[in-house]
């Protein structure tokens, strides 16, 4: 008995697929999980006096006030483009200039903001400080800044980990983000 094989018309399949595709295209939000990563210090111990004396010359002071104005080492700064070079020079000083840092281990970049400082300004300055360190690391590891940062997020890979460790050697990222002052709120 000859049986006619039933067929489903599939001319509209492409249309349906397009419709679904457009739906998912529109609703998809590619998660942006990128940013500036920092490690916070452990909580302050009330039993211990945390007062640590640091030599003034080993601290690179960056202050931002409530109206987002910048003070670098006591001097007001309008244009931030030279800040990164200043930090690199400070960290890599190694006692050459007696008024600057003694060694990369002792060098600390202190970043103090006000409660009224905008998050945008905070991220901008933190970006520059971290950029200075990443530039040093990348140079030491012999890769580009971008390659170094990529390696830093793939530490499971032994090859990447080697790059990361070679870059970070002798240069701890001493960024101190101080408790904000309370002038503006």
Partner 1 sequence: MSKFKKKAEVKQEIPTSSMPDVVFMLLFFFMVTTEMRKSSIEVKQQIPKAAQLRKLERKTLVANLYIGQPTEAKFGTEEKIQANDAFISTEDIIRWVNEEKSKLAEAEREQLTIAIKGDKDAKRGIIADVETELRKGNARKVLYTAADNAGAKKN
Binding site for partner 1 (CB under 8 A): 13-14, 17-18, 20-21, 24-25, 27-44, 80-81, 84, 113-120, 122-124, 126-128, 130-131, 134, 145-146, 149-150, 152-156, 177, 179-180, 182, 185
CB of 144 to partner 1, least distance (A): 12
Nearer to partner 1, 4 or 27 (CB): 27
Residue pair 89/139 in contact by the 8 Å Cβ criterion: no
Nearer to partner 1, 58 or 133 (CB): 133
Nearest to 86 by CA among 106, 105, 101, 98: 101
Q: Which residues pair with 110 in a beta bridge?
A: 61, 176
CB of 61 to partner 1, least distance (A): 17
Nearer to partner 1, 58 or 137 (CB): 137
Nearer to partner 1, 8 or 156 (CB): 156
Q: How far apart are CA 110 and CA 90, in angstroms?
A: 12
Residue pair 70/76 in contact by the 8 Å Cβ criterion: yes
CB of 49 to partner 1, least distance (A): 18
Nearer to partner 1, 4 or 47 (CB): 47
Residue pair 127/145 in contact by the 8 Å Cβ criterion: no
CB of 154 to partner 1, least distance (A): 7
Nearest to 151 by CA among 174, 167, 136, 139: 167
Nearest to 127 by CA among 143, 144, 139, 145: 145
Nearer to partner 1, 172 or 180 (CB): 180
CB of 81 to partner 1, least distance (A): 6
Q: How far apart are CA 75 and CA 99, in angstroms?
A: 16
CB of 168 to partner 1, least distance (A): 13
The dihedrals phi and psi of 176, each to the nearest 5 degrees, come to: -105, 115
């Amino acid at each position: 008995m000859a049986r006619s094989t039933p067929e489903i018309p599939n001319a509209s399949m492409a249309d349906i697929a397009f419709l679904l595709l457009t739906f998912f295209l529109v609703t998809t939000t590619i998660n942006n999980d990128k940013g500036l990563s920092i490690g916070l210090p452990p909580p302050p111990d009330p039993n211990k006096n945390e007062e640590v004396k640091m030599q003034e010359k080993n601290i690179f002071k960056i202050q931002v006030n409530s109206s987002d104005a910048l003070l670098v080492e006591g001097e007001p700064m309008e244009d931030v483009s030279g800040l990164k070079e200043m930090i690199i020079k400070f960290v890599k000083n190694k006692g050459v200039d007696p008024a600057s840092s003694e060694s990369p281990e002792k060098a600390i970049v202190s970043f103090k903001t006000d409660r009224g400082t905008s998050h945008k300004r905070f991220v901008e300055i933190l970006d520059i400080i971290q950029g200075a360190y990443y530039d040093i690391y990348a140079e030491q590891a012999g890769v580009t800044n971008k390659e170094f940062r990529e390696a830093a997020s793939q530490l499971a890979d032994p090859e990447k980990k080697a790059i990361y460790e070679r870059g970070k050697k002798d240069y701890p990222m001493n960024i101190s983000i101080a408790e904000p002052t309370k002038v503006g709120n």
